[in-house]
Amino acid sequence: MYKIAAIVSALLLIRCGASKTTIDASKIHTFRNISSAISYENSIGSVDTSPNHTIELADSMYPNHKGFELAIPKMFQQVEVPFICTVSYYYVKKDSSIKVIFYQWDNPNPVGHENVIGTKNKFKRFKNKWNQLAGQLSNQLGKPHYTSIASAKYGDKIIVDESTEDSIWSIDNNSTKQNTTWRDDMKWKSDNGVNAYMFMFGDNRTGYRQIRLVIYGD
């Protein structure tokens, strides 16, 4: 199974070529409306994966102090080997103005379908991606006003848990399974009213990684 996953990954690299998403936080202001965002995504070869139902954003991600009525988001999958990069545009029903740009980076291989070397390489890829994004955002918006790096406790170590519980959700006070989930957070706020909130979920026992980035205007 590991060999199959490696072959698929190699074919994707050959087919798509290595690329990376460059974050431009100013797009929250420079895109005139949702049509501008759609035109941009089409121009770079993104695939439209928009849902047909509303997806709510938590207040912690987008406060929406002015109570805008948001439409069903337009969602695209961008080419960014070796990640699956999804970008969602949340816009106002009334005038189509964009209020939130939401990025998400996932690993293309299902959790548990990688060997030890593959998992360690994945940890490094996501850490490098995190640092790349943090650098881009800091250059554009200034230093973050909030940083919490819980992953420092675990680093790139793969945690082997030999307890008998079947699921991380079965953890309680009497459990022998170690809770190895963590979350890193960084927040920015520029002088011109652009906000960015980036966070990464991880679990060094299951090998899970995911990065999310929310950009919104005041």
Per-residue pLDDT tens over the stretch 78-101: 989 899 999 999 999 999 999 999
pLDDT at 32: 87
Residue 188 placed within a domain: yes
Residue 44 placed within a domain: yes
Single out the residue of 136, 109, 103, 131 nearest to residue 122, CA to CA: 109
What's the pTM value of the predicted model, to 2 decimals?
0.84
The boundaries of the domain holding residue 21 are 2-161+175-217
Residue 167 placed within a domain: no
Residues 6+ apart with CB under 8 A from 152: none
Residues (pLDDT < 50) of the chain are: 1-18, 164-176
Residue 169 placed within a domain: no
The DSSP code for 130 is H
pLDDT at 177: 54
Residues 6+ apart with CB under 8 A from 192: 29
Residue 115 placed within a domain: yes
pLDDT at 168: 41
pLDDT at 164: 42
pLDDT at 190: 95
pLDDT at 179: 76
pLDDT at 215: 98
Tell me how many domains the chain contains.
1
Output the six-digit token pair for 136. Answer: 């881009």
